[in-house]
Structure 1
């Protein structure tokens, strides 16, 4: 197994006013941050941005099908073009256009040419309670902790070891970015809307990126990108080595992909704790309003 940085440990570094994470790549964190910021973009690129566990895998496959005009899954998982996990950023220049790239980083740390070239952005939003549950199952292999402990760390922003802001901070910075860049093309997609009526959301997404797919094709894409099909497709695709090493080969991307699963995990006391957290967040403004009870 190759050696990769431990993302649970904070670096104590900042870039463009935002804490730098321990990227699981060969470069030191600050060098990788600078390389991401200077990464050349193309005007026809499509960039997915979201807080973790909000549906980036799902929309990545949908966008791949819309841009290729075929209902075949991409031959690589989205982690290969996820900037913070990409150990070979120059590799991205070899990809054909239009490229579908993604990241969970704040806008201040993403390629500056996203703004310069008015790159189309797709921002995924999901109910925070479902995000907590999904993130718990996603990261529990990295640290043995109860759901109660994870929930407290999620609320405090410590789920990766102290350097990751909570989801509402992420939404606020996105809202501020959109406010200061009103001409940036951004489409916000709620996970819950995509779950309830995928074909309709896919139709709007096709219009946003300029593919103008037919209703029939959008329905076909919706069926092809159903949860069971997505999970099966991943069984035949490998993750980047740095990601496998980071999760000790135990990472499972797909669990349920459900709406409202938090009700199966939150106790009354935990729900009250989260209510308190949300009340504090509302005082600062939520940025964007997630769907459902949160």
Structure 2
């Protein structure tokens, strides 16, 4: 299937993909390679729409799987399936691997799905995602004004325990508290800047404030966004939590 290009990204199979090098070269080849990826029985895949909090969840899962609260010097981009320059590099990641992607369910590794291995799907209020994406693009100088862009609290320990149960990991109360502390937004942001082996200057951690969309959306913009969102997710139970 041929790809088209717009200022927003690479248009492939009806979806807009980011300008990552492997996708620019041949989006179809990379998507097919992801779908055909050979997995391992202990692989975990984190999947989410961009700007939904995958860096945060990736760090928590790493601590749970290693059973300690030490930060890793690796970045999630090293196991980012549509981002790494050579997908074969993920074969050299020691088990258990924490793979991550922004592709939709139908493009995930087929073997992983067929063998019912662990998938963690991160969902964030779409309005907060929208605001986060605005600031992400603003950092790159791709957009300046909110109105221009518009045109075109959980308890951490409880959620960590839910993740541990899903991953079938025994997690002590002490370790749960340590992970919650280390993965607090300010500490995690500082660790990313001081400990990660990366030359990237991209600011992944901005504010992490639930409901920050209210500081950006006007009433008219909120109504317009709601109408669009409902047309896209009508009948889905995933987003009901944001409107209950």
**What TM-score range do you get, normalising by the shorter chain?**
0.7 to 0.9
Measure the CA separation in 1 of the matches of 2:15 and 2:215: 33
TM-score computed with the length of structure 2 as normaliser: 0.87
Answer yes or no: is 1:288 the counterpart of 2:238. Answer: yes
Structure 1 equivalent of residue 150 of structure 2:
151
| 8 Å Cα contact 2:73-2:197 kept in structure 1 | no
Partner deviation per Cα, 1:60-110 (whole Å, 9 max, x = no partner): 000000011111112121112111111121111111111111111011222
SS at match of 1:212: coil
1:256 aligns with 2:207: yes
| Counterpart in the other structure of 1:214 | 172
- Cα separation, partners in 2 of 1:67 and 1:287, compared to 1, 3 Å: same
> How many Å apart are 1:44 and its aligned residue?
0.7
Q: Deviations over 1:6-36 (max 9, x none)?
A: 884654543xxx5473652254222212211
In the alignment, which residue of structure 2 is the partner of 1:168? none
CA distance in 2: counterparts of 1:12 and 1:59, whole angstroms: 28
Structure 1 residues 96-143: Cα deviation after superposition (integer angstroms, max 9, x where no partner): 111111111011222111112221011111111111111111122252
Decide whether the 8 Å contact of 1:127 with 1:290 is kept in 2. no
Q: How does 1:1-294 map to 2 (within 5 A)?
A: 8=7, 10-14=9-13, 19=15, 21=17, 24-26=20-22, 27-140=25-138, 141=140, 143-153=142-152, 192=153, 196-236=154-194, 237-239=196-198, 244=200, 249=201, 251-281=202-232, 284-289=234-239, 291-292=241-242
Give the aligned length: 236
Deviation at 1:279, TM superposition (A): 4.3
CA contact (8 A) 1:83 1:103 kept: yes
1: distance between equivalents of 2:71 and 2:131?
A: 27
Query: How big is each residue's C-alpha offset from its partner over 1:132-174, in whole Å with a ceiling of 9 and x where there is no partner?
Result: 1111111222522422232233xxxxxxxxxxxxxxxxxxxxx
Aligned position for 1:160: none
Give the aligned CA root-mean-square deviation in angstroms: 2.3
When normalised by structure 1's length, the TM-score is 0.73
Distance 1:211 1:28, change over 3 A: same
Tell me the distance in 2 between the aligned counterparts of 1:33 and 1:202.
31
Cα separation, 2, equivalents of 1:227 and 1:198: 11
**How many angstroms does 1:206 deviate by?**
0.8
Distance between the aligned counterparts of 2:90 and 2:6, measured in 1? Answer: 23
Q: Cα deviations across residues 232-258 of structure 1 (Å, max 9, x unaligned)?
A: 01112244x7xx4xxxx4x21011111
